[in-house]
């Protein structure tokens, strides 16, 4: 529980870093009555994106990534973060 730093590496099919993408994040829990947590990632070095986000409750989280590539193509990915522990 608490603040976390999420680091993402974005590469193309050949393993080359993808620079200049926009990555928006939405973190959710699966139960009702919980507001999503939003964040945006900044590119800290080519193809490496970093975001701060706060897990406000212990339990199972899912992070949705909304990625906009430099050419405008969009893709979504999902990262499971199970078992966030209480402080």
Binding site for Cu ion (CB under 5 A): 29, 34, 57
In degrees to the nearest 10, what's the CA dihedral of 8, 4, 77, 13? 10
User: Minimum distance from CB of 34 to Cu ion (Å)?
Assistant: 4
Task: Count how many Cα atoms sit within 13 Å of the Cα of residue 52 in the half-sphere of its side chain.
Answer: 2
Task: Determine if residue 56 is left, alpha or beta; phi over 0 gives left, psi from -120 to 50 gives alpha, anything else beta.
Answer: alpha
| Tokens representing residue 20 in the block | 């200049």
User: Minimum distance from CB of 31 to Cu ion (Å)?
Assistant: 6
User: Minimum distance from CB of 82 to Cu ion (Å)?
Assistant: 13
Nearer to Cu ion, 29 or 67 (CB): 29
Nearer to Cu ion, 49 or 55 (CB): 55
Nearer to Cu ion, 50 or 60 (CB): 60
């Amino acid at each position: 529980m608490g603040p976390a730093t999420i680091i993402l590496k974005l590469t193309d099919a050949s393993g080359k870093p993808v620079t200049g993408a926009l990555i928006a994040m939405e973190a959710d829990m699966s139960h009702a009555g919980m507001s999503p947590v939003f964040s945006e990632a900044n590119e800290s070095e080519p193809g490496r994106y970093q975001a701060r986000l706060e897990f406000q409750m212990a339990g199972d989280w899912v992070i949705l990534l909304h990625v906009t590539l430099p050419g405008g193509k969009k893709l979504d990915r999902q990262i499971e973060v199970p078992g966030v522990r209480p402080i």
